[in-house]
């Protein structure tokens, strides 16, 4: 059967099941079943994909990273630090809309799936008193978290991309840093500018003591994020271990500051069985993509199309991003082709990063999307529409920029 027809039927299965409010993980797993039935039908593939999912260190690193981020959210919320940080930022910027954009963007520097779960309560707190739909809240949280996805040296995908393509990390960051600014501006006009009438934040004048307390709340709230990044960069720790250390470090810190949070509450309230099951099912789907041969056949079919190489490369990056929902996925598939087509080319490397990210942002396979929609109890398709508008604009901007600056 034609590989593009298989992909269409798999995507259709996801869309239909989501319409019937089926859990996202199950819907994506159903798409994997469609691919397996139409392209493989080998029980050995199901077993080998399950074994791969169960034995890959990535699986446990992601699960533990996500769990510990939820633990961290419980700590910050129950200690009052989260609320204090939002209030301090509102006084600093005199606009809730800026807080809604800046905090997810900052937390996007955290190279962990759980960052979307961490920023979601901040978006919820910052939007209190504003008439914002759950779908828009989910879109804001999801979109602004990925502002630096293609230009941050702390994002694992960037490190992997540079290693495969044979280019220096700083060169790629400088090549794409303008795109982060463009992403912020587009998101502001599409998602936040319409909320101007709802943005009623009273400017408060802080005394010296209250200003110091505000800075303390902000510093305390962001300290585990900074610690997490430092542990991964300096000691090369996996995200799950680094985040676990950050959570444990906050326990005595809050007791010292007389903001104790019961240890039982931290570790029990953070356990979200539905969310963790979604993670496992999505990871199994990604293993099925390779095991059934769908990913390899898709790449081969794209390369056989009678189109210019840059167009094919952009399509390939978008499609792999759509299928895997992970930066490591489209980078692992697109960057080797980039290195073969034009070794050391920042133009092709930039295309792989940006178009792969656009594909990643437009798929329910992306766990951050799942997390955001689930947290805000949002309508998936309403959120998707808002994200699609942003990504379509960005695709046009980047395509035009690449065309006129091709080197």
pLDDT of residue 51: 96
- Over 70: is that where the pLDDT of 168 sits? yes
Q: Evaluate if residue 201 carries a pLDDT over 70.
A: no
In eight-state DSSP terms, residue 197 is G
* CA atoms of 15 and 128, how far apart (whole Å): 31
Among 193-202, 312-321, 334-343, 382-391, the minimum mean pLDDT is found in 193-202
Q: In which band, very low, low, confident or very high, does the pLDDT at 54 lie, cut at 50, 70 and 90?
A: very high
Q: Which residues contact 230 (CB under 8 A, 6 or more apart)?
A: none
Residue 114 has a pLDDT of 56
State mean pLDDT over 290-317. Answer: 85
State pLDDT tens for residues 309-361.
888 889 888 988 888 787 777 787 778 778 877 888 899 999 999 999 999 99
Confidence (pLDDT) at 208: 66
d(CA 262, CA 270): 12
Cite the DSSP H helix spans in 327-366: 327-341, 346-361
Residue 407 has pLDDT above 90, yes or no: no
Contact 363, 321 (CB under 8 A): yes
- Indicate the pTM of the whole model: 0.73
- Give the residue-averaged pLDDT of 228-249: 84
Given this model, what pLDDT does residue 50 score?
Answer: 95
> Looking at per-residue confidence, does 36 or 299 come out higher?
36
The Cα–Cα gap between 103 and 143 comes to: 12
Say how many Å lie between the first and final Cα of the chain, rounded. Answer: 39
CA dihedral 368, 369, 372, 374 (to 10 degrees): -110
Distance CA 303, CA 404 (A): 24
C-alpha to C-alpha distances, 75 to 68, 105, 240, 247, 352, nearest whole angstrom: 10, 21, 17, 8, 38
Q: Across the chain, what does the average pLDDT equal?
A: 85
pLDDT in tens, 27-38: 889 999 999 999
The pLDDT value given to residue 230: 83
- Min mean pLDDT across 205-214, 333-342, 377-386 is at 205-214
Q: What is the pLDDT of residue 12?
A: 86
Instruction: List, in sequence order, the alpha helices (H) in 108-155.
Output: 115-126, 134-145
Q: Residue 83 — pLDDT band, cuts 50, 70, 90?
A: confident
| Across 292-304, average pLDDT | 84
The predicted model gives 268-275 an average pLDDT of 84
pLDDT (0 to 100) of residue 105: 87
The pLDDT assigned to 250 comes to 93
CB 349 within 8 A of CB 172: yes
Say what the pLDDT of residue 81 is. Answer: 83
205 DSSP 8-state letter: P
Q: Do 353 and 161 touch, CB atoms closer than 8 A?
A: yes
Q: Which H/E stretch holds residue 305?
A: none
Mean pLDDT along residues 172-196: 93
- Cα dihedral 366, 312, 310, 338, rounded to 10, equals 60
Residue 139: pLDDT band by 50, 70, 90 thresholds?
very high
- Is pLDDT above 70 for 206? no
Q: How far apart are CA 134 and CA 123, in angstroms?
A: 11
């Amino acid at each position: 059967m034609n590989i593009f027809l298989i992909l269409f039927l798999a995507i259709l299965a996801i869309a239909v099941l989501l319409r019937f409010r089926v859990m996202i993980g199950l819907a994506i797993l159903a798409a994997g079943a469609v691919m397996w039935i139409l392209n493989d039908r080998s029980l050995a593939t199901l077993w080998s994909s399950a074994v791969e999912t169960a034995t890959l260190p990535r699986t446990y690193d992601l699960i533990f990273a996500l769990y510990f981020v939820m633990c961290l959210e419980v700590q910050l919320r129950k200690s009052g630090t989260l609320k204090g940080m939002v209030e301090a930022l509102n006084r600093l910027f005199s606009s809730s809309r800026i807080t809604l954009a800046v905090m997810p963007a900052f937390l996007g520097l955290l190279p962990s799936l759980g960052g979307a779960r961490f920023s979601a309560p901040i978006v919820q707190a910052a939007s209190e008193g504003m008439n914002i739909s759950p779908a828009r809240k989910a879109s804001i949280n999801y979109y602004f978290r990925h502002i630096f996805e293609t230009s941050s040296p702390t994002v694992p995908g960037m490190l992997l991309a540079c290693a495969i393509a044979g280019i220096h990390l700083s060169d790629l960051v400088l090549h794409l840093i303008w795109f982060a600014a463009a992403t912020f501006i587009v998101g502001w006009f599409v998602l936040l500018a319409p909320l101007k009438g709802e943005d009623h934040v009273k400017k408060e004048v802080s005394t010296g003591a209250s200003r110091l307390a505000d800075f303390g709340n902000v510093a305390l709230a962001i300290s585990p994020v900074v610690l997490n990044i430092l542990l991964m960069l300096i000691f090369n720790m996996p995200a799950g271990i680094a985040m676990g250390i950050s959570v444990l470090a906050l326990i005595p810190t809050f007791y010292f500051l007389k903001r104790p949070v019961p240890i039982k509450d931290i570790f029990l309230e953070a356990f979200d069985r539905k969310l963790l099951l979604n993670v496992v099912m999505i990871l199994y789907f990604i293993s099925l993509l390779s095991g059934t041969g769908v990913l390899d056949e898709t790449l081969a079919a794209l390369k056989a199309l009678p189109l210019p190489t840059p167009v094919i490369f952009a399509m390939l990056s978008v499609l792999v991003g759509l299928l895997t929902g992970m930066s490591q996925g489209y980078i692992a598939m697109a960057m080797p082709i980039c290195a073969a087509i034009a070794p050391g080319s920042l133009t092709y490397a930039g295309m792989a990063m940006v178009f792969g990210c656009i594909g990643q942002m437009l798929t329910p396979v992306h766990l951050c999307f799942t997390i955001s929609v689930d947290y805000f109890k949002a309508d998936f398709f309403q959120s998707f529409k808002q994200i699609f508008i942003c990504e379509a604009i960005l695709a046009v901007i980047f395509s035009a920029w690449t065309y006129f600056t091709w080197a």
